[in-house]
Structure 1
Amino acid sequence: MSTPIHPGVRIGHVHLKVADLERALAFYCGVLGFQLRQRYGPQAAFISAGGYHHHIGLNTWESRGGKPPPPGTTGLYHVAILYPDRASLADALRRLIEHKVPLDGAADHGVSEAIYLQDPDGNGIELYTDRDPAAWPRDAKGEIAMTTGPLDLDALLAESPSPSPSS
C-alpha cells in the first residue's frame, strides 16, 4: 500500500477555457459574485472570493469562440465551489434565480448540500456547503455513507440573507 498524501494538501485554483471572456466574467462576477483580481486584456482574467489572488482563472488562450466538448468525451465533470455555510449557499441560489440561471439539479448528499448548473460555456459547476463532520452519515463499520437525496430548495432559499444595498 502506498503512503497517503499529506493531510494538509488542498486543491487550489482552477483555470477554465472559455469562448467569451466578457460573458464568463458577467456570469462569475455578475451572477455568482466573485471579484475580478487581475485581467490580461481580452484573453484572461483571474477572480476570487475574499481578496485571494485567484480561485478561478478564465482564459481564451485556446478557446476563443470555441464550443463546449460534446457529451461522451473526457474532461472536467464539474468545478465544486465550497460555500462556508448554508446561508451563503442560499444566497447563491437566490442570485441564480434572480438571473434566471437554470439548474441541472440539487442534492442532499448527507455530508453536504449541493446545487448543480452549467456556466455559459457548458462547464459543470457544483455550489455546495459541507455539514459538520460529526453529522455525516456512517455505515455499520463507521465509514462515511454518502447519499444522494432531494434538496429542499424552498427551505434553502428561506435561509438566504437579504441582498445588500450595493447589490
Structure 2
Amino acid sequence: MTQPTSTPSPVATAAPVLPATLRLGAVHLVVTQLDRSVAWYQTALGLRVHRHDSDVAELGDGTVTTLVLHEDPVAHAPGHHAGLYHVALLHPEREELARAALRLAAGRVHIQGASDHGTHEAIYLADPDGNGLELAADRPREQWPTPEQEFSEFQRGGPLPLDFDALLATVAGEAPSAQVRPGLRTGHLHLHVGSVERGLGFYRDLLGFEVWGSLPSAAFVSAGGYHHHLAFNVWRGPDVPALPPHVVGLREWTIELAEAGEIAEVRGRLEAAGVPLADRPGGFAVRDPWDMTVVVTLAGADA
C-alpha cells in the first residue's frame, strides 16, 4: 500500500527588523539660493553653521549636522510627483521647543500649523524655498498613546492643537535665544510617494522598518518602537511619478547604524532582491521606488 505523501510546510522566516539603536543622520535638501537659506536657518531656527562653501552648507547644533543644503539655481518648485513632505528637527526637551517658538515669534516667522500628537508636540513651517519643516519635541515614551489611539483621533478630525500657553510656560520669563542648544537631532522624515503598499514593500520588507501605525493613505514606520522615523503618504495622489532632477526638496537622507554587521545585513537583503546599490564611506546608498536616495551608513562615518 502506497503511503500518502505530504508537502512539507514552508519554513517561516522572520521579517527583517532594523536595530533599535538606529538613528537618522543628516537630511540633504535642495535650495535655490544658498546664502539666503543659510541666513534664514540661522535667524529663524537658530541653527549653527558647521560648514559653508559656495554651493553647500552644513547646519546643526554646533556638533551634529542635521541639515545639509545644496544650491541648485535652476531647481523648480515641486509638482505632481514623489518628494519631500517635511523633515522634523527633534529638540531634546520640551523647553527647547518652547525656545524655538519664542525665536519664531521674535522673528515674526510665519508658521503653517502646530499640533499635539500625543507622542510629540510639533510646529510646522517652510523655509524660503517651501521645503517643509517640523520642529518637534517628544513626550516621555510612557505617556505615548497607542498607535490605535493616535490614529483613531487623527481619523476623527486630526491631531489636537498645540497648547502654546502650556508650552511657553516652561520657559516663562526667558528672552528669545539666538541659537539652539546642543542636542538637536533629525527626528523623522515624511515623504510623498505613489503607493503606500510599494513603500511598505521597500521600507518595511527590504530595509527592515516596522510599522508603528497607518492610515489608508499613509504609513508610519520606525525601529525600536519609536513613533516614526519615516512616514510616507499618497496625498499628492496615487501613482505619482518618481522624483525628477532639479527640484527643490529632498536630495538624500541618512540612516545611521551602530555596527558594520548591521549594515551588511541590510545590504545583503537589498542585493538578494536585485536592488542596485552605490558604495558610500561606511556604507552604501540606495534609491527607493521613486528615485529618492537613502544612505545607510555607520554612525560617525564621514559622509
**Which interval holds the TM-score relative to the shorter structure?**
0.7 to 0.9
Letter in 1 for 2:163: D
- Higher relative CO (Cα under 8 Å, sequence separation at least 6) belongs to 2
Partner of 2:58: 46
| Structure 1 residue 82 corresponds to structure 2 residue 90 | yes
Match of 1:56 among 43, 59, 67: 67
Letter in 2 for 1:66: A
Cα distance in 1, alignment partners of residues 30 and 178 from structure 2:
33
- Is the contact made by 2:57 and 2:70 (CA closer than 8 Å) also made in structure 1? yes
- Relative to its length, the structure with more strand (as a share) is 2
Corresponding residue SS for 2:114: strand
Partner of 1:69: 78
Corresponding residue SS for 2:81: coil
- Is the contact made by 2:49 and 2:62 (CA closer than 8 Å) also made in structure 1? no
Cα distance in 2, alignment partners of residues 165 and 122 from structure 1:
23
Partner of 2:23: 10
Give CA deviations for 1:72-130 in whole Å, capped at 9, x if unaligned: 43201101000111111011111111112111111100111001111111000010100
Match of 1:152 among 163, 173, 179: 163
What 5-or-longer segments of structure 2 have no aligned partner?
A: 1-13, 154-158, 180-303
Aligned residue-pair number: 157
CA shift, 1:155, in A, is 2.6
Corresponding residue SS for 1:100: coil
**CA shift in 2, pair 1:22/1:151, >3 Å:** same
Give CA deviations for 1:24-45 in whole Å, capped at 9, x if unaligned: 111111221111111222x111
Corresponding residue SS for 1:55: strand
Cα distance in 1, alignment partners of residues 178 and 48 from structure 2:
17
Give CA deviations for 1:11-33 in whole Å, capped at 9, x if unaligned: 11011100111111111112211
CA shift, 1:51, in A, is 1.7
| Structure 1 residue 21 corresponds to structure 2 residue 21 | no
Q: How does 1:80-159 map to 2 (within 5 A)?
A: 80-138=88-146, 145-146=149-150, 147=153, 148-159=159-170
**CA shift in 2, pair 1:164/1:110, >3 Å:** closer
Larger deviation, residues 29-38 vs 104-113: 29-38
Cα distance in 2, alignment partners of residues 50 and 150 from structure 1:
31
**CA shift in 2, pair 1:113/1:165, >3 Å:** closer
Q: Which entry has the higher C-alpha Rg, 1 or 2?
A: 2
Cα distance in 1, alignment partners of residues 178 and 88 from structure 2:
28
CA shift, 1:136, in A, is 0.9
Cα distance in 2, alignment partners of residues 92 and 164 from structure 1:
8
Corresponding residue SS for 2:102: helix
- Is the contact made by 2:41 and 2:47 (CA closer than 8 Å) also made in structure 1? yes
Cα distance in 1, alignment partners of residues 86 and 178 from structure 2:
32
- Is the contact made by 2:103 and 2:178 (CA closer than 8 Å) also made in structure 1? no
Identity fraction in percent: 40
- Is the contact made by 1:20 and 1:65 (CA closer than 8 Å) also made in structure 2? no
CA shift, 1:151, in A, is 0.8
TM-score normalized by the length of structure 2: 0.48
TM-score normalized by the length of structure 1: 0.85
Cα distance in 2, alignment partners of residues 18 and 159 from structure 1:
34
RMSD: 2.0
